[in-house]
Amino acid sequence: MPRLDYFLVAESVSIDKDRSTLSIFHVCDAWQDRPPLLIPELVAVSSWTMEPEDMGQDFQATLKIRLPGKQERPDLELHSINFTADHRRQRTYHFVRGLRIEEPGEVEFRILLNGQHKASHYAWVIADEEKA
């Protein structure tokens, strides 16, 4: 089974295909603003290390989002990304556009592999009462 090396949520990424490197920009851990808050775009990045027995097998990575004060909602489960293990390292990218957060509190981003929870990334919406 693939091993998760890291899982982060950020505003954007840049991939240098010639050097096979990844730059992650503006990791999301808090937003200080009065809800409702509209996040234009996010990307959840997962990096997986494949074991020799994983090579050639198909896997499915799924991102789930839990908003403050709410249960996990099916409409916040993004499409799953299917990939075949053909390299020792595999990355998956889930792009989220137009995430609306209605109240302050914790936002949990969960990554699942073949339906099994592998990691969470947390960010907080902090209501700034002085912004009005």
Pairing status of strand 116-126 against strand 30-32: parallel
CA end-to-end distance (rounded Å), the chain: 50
What is residue 74's predicted lDDT score, i.e. its pLDDT? Answer: 54
What is residue 109's predicted lDDT score, i.e. its pLDDT? Answer: 95
What is residue 76's predicted lDDT score, i.e. its pLDDT? Answer: 63
What ranges do the domains of the chain cover? 3-126
Token pair, residue 32, equals 């200080």
- Residue segments in the chain with a per-residue pLDDT below the cut of 70: 70-78, 128-132
CATH number of 3-126: 2.60.40.2560
Token pair, residue 107, equals 């936002």
What is residue 129's predicted lDDT score, i.e. its pLDDT? Answer: 59
What is residue 35's predicted lDDT score, i.e. its pLDDT? Answer: 85
